């Protein structure tokens, strides 16, 4: 008996739509802003920001608002509180712009999601800020293709196990599609599910921290959305009992 794939999960950020590019741009502007106060050759601005963000995840969780608060904290620390209120306000405005950026779907995504949705039930499982993720789903034009939309605060094996239990599905019949080995692939493989990795050209350092056996029979890697339907079919045929 084989466990054919019955449910396919899609990640949101950098799988369905562009996201990290905007964060990268905001962090570049953050560095320029600090250039008036610190020597950028010495200050390691991006490293210090990442250290602050990582430390603050336990308090803020993921998302734009937490990044903005970590930027303010980093700016105050790096400038010895000499930075002006106008610059700190500009950081808040950068966050508002990020939160209101139009949703830009990645090439081939609408067609790939529609094709997979004809053969399987599809759900969206996305991590981060509930309010921002729901806004992006609404503006993506894809909401109607998804049977369920789950915004979760962390993508780890217990979270996937809970979500699959709510769907009443064993992990063996589930495949997850996403750009992050850490969040989309490793925890699902660990539960006995399958994964399709679709790398994005830029990835937040945090999301690259994962261990995945590259030769797993339950893992496919694709170079773009047009290869997704075939990858899901191959997994559905190959997944052992």
The SS3 assignment for 133 reads helix
Token digits of residue 237? 């045929």
Least separation in angstroms between residue 162's CB and a second copy is 10
C-beta closer to a second copy: residue 131 or 141: 131
Give the span between the Cα atoms of 18 and 136, in whole angstroms: 11
Q: Does 85 bind a second copy (CB under 8 A)?
A: yes
C-beta closer to a second copy: residue 118 or 162: 162
**CB burial string 73-85: b at 16+ within 10 A, e below:** bbbeebbeeebee
C-beta closer to a second copy: residue 1 or 86: 86
The CA radius of gyration of the chain, in Å to the nearest whole number, is 19
Per CB under 8 A, the segment of 87-95, 108-116, 182-190, 220-228 that binds a second copy is 87-95
Least separation in angstroms between residue 98's CB and a second copy is 10
Give the span between the Cα atoms of 209 and 160, in whole angstroms: 18
The closest alpha carbon to 216, from 239, 184, 200, belongs to 239
C-beta closer to a second copy: residue 32 or 55: 55
Q: Does 89 bind a second copy (CB under 8 A)?
A: yes
Interacting positions 189-208 with a second copy (CB under 8 A): none
Q: Does 65 bind a second copy (CB under 8 A)?
A: yes
**Do 34 and 72 meet the contact criterion of CB atoms below 8 Å apart?**
no
Number of residues that bind a second copy (CB under 8 A): 37
Per CB under 8 A, the segment of 21-29, 148-156, 183-191, 233-241 that binds a second copy is 148-156
* x/- map, 149-188, a second copy, by CB under 8 A: --xxx------------x----------------------
**Do 207 and 183 meet the contact criterion of CB atoms below 8 Å apart?**
yes
C-beta closer to a second copy: residue 13 or 225: 13
Q: Does 102 bind a second copy (CB under 8 A)?
A: no
The SS3 assignment for 20 reads helix
Token digits of residue 109? 């995504």
Interacting positions 22-61 with a second copy (CB under 8 A): 56, 59-61
Give the span between the Cα atoms of 176 and 74, in whole angstroms: 35
Least separation in angstroms between residue 85's CB and a second copy is 4
Residues with Cβ within 8 Å of residue 101, at least 6 apart in sequence: 22
Token digits of residue 168? 């009443």
Using CB under 8 A as the criterion, which residues of the chain lie in contact with a second copy when the complex forms?
Answer: 56, 59-62, 65-66, 68-69, 72-73, 75-76, 79, 81-86, 88-89, 92, 95-96, 99-100, 129-132, 134, 148, 151-153, 166
């Amino acid at each position: 008996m084989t466990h054919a794939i019955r449910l396919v999960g899609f990640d949101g950020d950098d799988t369905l739509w562009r996201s990290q590019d905007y964060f990268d741009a905001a962090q570049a502007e953050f560095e320029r802003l600090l250039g008036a106060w610190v020597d950028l050759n010495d200050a390691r601005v991006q490293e210090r920001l990442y250290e602050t963000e990582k430390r603050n995840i336990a308090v803020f969780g993921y998302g734009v608002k937490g990044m903005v608060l970590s930027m303010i904290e980093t700016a105050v620390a790096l400038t010895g509180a000499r930075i002006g209120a106008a610059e700190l306000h500009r950081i808040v405005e950068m966050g508002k712009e990020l939160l209101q950026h139009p949703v830009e779907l990645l090439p081939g995504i609408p067609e790939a999601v529609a094709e997979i949705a004809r053969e399987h039930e599809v759900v969206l499982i996305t991590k981060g800020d509930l309010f921002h993720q729901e806004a992006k789903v609404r503006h993506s034009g894809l909401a109607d293709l998804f049977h369920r939309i789950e915004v979760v605060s962390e993508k780890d094996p217990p979270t996937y196990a809970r979500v699959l239990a709510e769907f009443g599905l064993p992990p063996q019949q589930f495949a997850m599609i996403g750009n992050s080995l850490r969040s989309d692939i490793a925890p699902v493989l660990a539960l006995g599910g399958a994964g399709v990795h679709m790398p994005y050209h830029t990835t937040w350092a945090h999301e690259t921290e994962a261990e995945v056996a590259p030769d797993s029979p339950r893992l496919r890697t694709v170079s773009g959305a047009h290869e997704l339907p075939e990858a899901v079919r191959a997994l559905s045929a190959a997944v052992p009992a």
